[in-house]
Amino acid sequence: MLKAIADTHTVIWYIFDDERLSQTAKSTIENIGQNGHNVGFSTITIVEIIYLIEKGRIPKDTLNKLITEINQGDTLLVSISLDENIAKSLANVSRDEIPDLPDRLIAATGLYYNIPIISRDYKIKSSKVKTIW
The structural domains of the chain, with segments of one domain joined by +, span 2-132
Over residues 7-22, the mean pLDDT reads: 97
CATH of range 2-132; options 2.60.40.60, 3.30.2270.10, 3.40.50.1010, 3.30.1540.10? 3.40.50.1010
Q: Is the pTM of this model over 0.75?
A: yes
Over residues 51-75, the mean pLDDT reads: 92
Long-range pairs for 14-21: beta carbons < 8 A, 24 or more residues apart: 14/77, 15/62, 15/65, 15/66, 15/69, 15/77, 16/59, 16/62, 16/65, 20/120
Over residues 64-92, the mean pLDDT reads: 93
pLDDT of 74 > 90? The answer is: no
